[in-house]
Amino acid sequence: MLERLTFVARIHGEVKRAYRDFELVSATAPFVPHIPVSEGEDVVIQAIDLLPSLSAADAVAVREQLAANGIFEIPFISNFDAGFHEAAGAGLSVPPIEYVTAGWMSSMKVYRKALVRSA
């Protein structure tokens, strides 16, 4: 990506001004696409709660329906973040962490935090 920016910056000066030192800023929060959530929170929570008891095919169908309604599994984050994670066991998670149970979020709200523990 930086090679492409350098190439384009030779032609377009505004690119060089936008990426001064050609460093890309990394986001501190996980990204999920912004899709308006059309279901109520209670329906979303019920669907999430059902997932562990479903067959593989049914779980895929529910995940697809959640995604169509703007609800996604929280992408993996290697460091503990209280906004997206809940510590399992003694309540202390030291990086690196691993997910015990998936969390779920939309672009605007965390519906269920991911349960994590130290790896």
Query: pTM higher than 0.75, yes or no?
Result: no
Task: For the chain, give every domain's residue range.
Answer: 1-28, 31-118
CB 74 within 8 A of CB 107: no
pLDDT in tens, 82-117: 889 888 877 666 777 888 999 999 999 999 999 998
CB 118 within 8 A of CB 89: no
